[in-house]
Amino acid sequence: MAAKIKFGTSGWRAVMADEFTLANVRRAISGIARYVVSQKASGARVIVGRDPRFLGETLCSLAADIFSSYGITPLVISDAAPTPAISYAVIQAKSDGAVNFTASHNPPDYNGIKFSTPDGAPALPAVTARIEAEIAAYDASSSSPKKRVVPTSPPAESLDPRRMYLARLRDIVDVGTVKKAGLRVAFDPLWGAARGYSDALLREAGVAVGTVHDYRDVLFGGHAPEPDDHLLDPMREKMREMKAHLGIATDGDADRFGIVDEDGTFFQPNYIIALLFDYLVESRGWKNGVGKSVATTNLINALAKHHKVELHETPVGFKYIGELIKQDKIVIGGEESAGLSIRGHVPEKDGILAGLLCCEMVARRGKSLGQQLKELFVKVGSFYPQRENFRLTPEVKAKFTEKLGLEPKEFFGRKVNEIVRTDGMKLVFEDGSWICYRLSGTEPVVRVYSEARNADDLKKLSAAAKQWIFE
């Protein structure tokens, strides 16, 4: 019996040659094709793209052939392309969706499939449930095969999203200010899909840019292409070499970002989202709202109150932020896992945009990120967030799952003011500190998000959070 293909918060991902096989890819793409045809019986067009992973070109060819066999015109992107560029191409080309072969920031032995709907947004659960049902229907029909008859099998057409996407970034990022300020920037695409995007745009404007890892490596240097603190030392070295004011990095498909301040300090995404929110309200005058996942810093809540801006708190998963972008309800929306987008832009995470906006913010304000964060803390108070993952045995997981249904009034001496169940269980305490527990849907792991008002209290809160899991 074929393995069940399950689409999670960012599509379907699996280890290559294990579950991610050509046979299973054929099943998944056939299910997507059946879904697209159910929405548009004729004349449908679907973009097919990829990140730089192993076999990407082969997978795109396979998908194009399958779509053609269903009467769908495949619009194939020949080179690796960033997820946000593919999202923007869906909107500009008025296509009926996009298939993107990427495992984002996962290790190099993974691959995956993201499906975007005609609005350029990640498919919502209602859509992925339909696709999973269509995969099951395809599996059933394959056991008693009938020749599929379509009026025509349209040939693949080529599409290059780079020019249109970079033109869009020029419209929304003031690169002239970056040049005028004399900013020097280091860039690390981590061998990924953003190669030739962020740095090319800045260089074109006359900004001094130094790039590392600017070549294809399907093994991403032997580790996950994740723009996290411990993987950005080569970019730091480039920053020291060129005396850069800022380091910007993106993950494998360029939907996530990693930012390093001029002194080499990695700035966690929670703070970047909050700083950019404050900056966009100040520089653009936008005050229509702000979106954040339930696990993202309450520094954003405090800023929303300060700026008199409506706060929208969503479950984890950028598709929920994307809905708010589409409805023009927010200035910026972000998640602590390094995803953000802004008003009038794609309803998808954009790590390239995040880095470029940080360049603009530092240039216009003439202050380092560290200086700006200190000023933000003076304005609305200090916030110290963190995320930890804990692996669970089956016994501990079963016991802990039961505990998540409790309604604790107190937590290790802290009075629980509020229990939020938007996603998992979030306990909010009297002093504004909080803990959020979320069980992973794909592995025996609980994700623990903690936030306190000072660094010492965060250590105590983190210890209590861990103790509660295993006691």
- Whole-model pTM: value is 0.95
| pLDDT over threshold 60, residue 144 | no
> Phi/psi at 258 (nearest 5 deg)?
-140, 130
CATH number of 384-470: 3.30.310.50
CATH number of 12-160: 3.40.120.10
| pLDDT over threshold 70, residue 1 | no
Q: How much is the pLDDT for 243?
A: 98
| pLDDT over threshold 70, residue 274 | yes
Q: What is the mean pLDDT of residues 152-168?
A: 94
Q: What is the mean pLDDT of residues 288-302?
A: 97
Q: Which CATH number fits domain 173-380: 3.40.50.150, 1.10.150.120, 3.40.50.360, 3.40.120.10?
A: 3.40.120.10
Assigned token pair, 267: 């700035």
Q: How much is the pLDDT for 155?
A: 92
Report pLDDT digits (tens) over 244-258.
999 999 999 999 999
Q: How much is the pLDDT for 150?
A: 64
Range with the poorest average pLDDT among 75-89, 186-200, 412-426, 432-446: 432-446
| pLDDT over threshold 80, residue 339 | yes
Same fold, 12-160 and 384-470: no
Q: What is the mean pLDDT of residues 233-250?
A: 98
Q: How much is the pLDDT for 440?
A: 83
Sheet containing 445-452: give its strands across.
384-391, 445-452, 434-439, 425-429, 414-420, 410-411
Tally of CA atoms within 13 A in the half-sphere of 422 that contains its CB: 18
Q: What is the mean pLDDT of residues 176-202?
A: 98
Report pLDDT digits (tens) over 395-431.
999 999 999 999 999 999 999 999 999 999 999 999 9
pLDDT band at 152 (very low <50, low <70, confident <90, very high): confident
Between CA 143 and CA 151 the distance in angstroms is 24
| pLDDT over threshold 60, residue 173 | yes
Question: Do the beta carbons of residue 84 and residue 100 sit within 8 Å?
Answer: no
| % of residues, the chain, pLDDT over 70 | 97
Q: How much is the pLDDT for 149?
A: 54
Q: How much is the pLDDT for 471?
A: 86
Mean pLDDT of the chain: 95
Q: How much is the pLDDT for 151?
A: 65
- Residue spans of the domains in the chain: they are 12-160, 173-380, 384-470
Write down the residue that tokens 């998640």 correspond to: 335
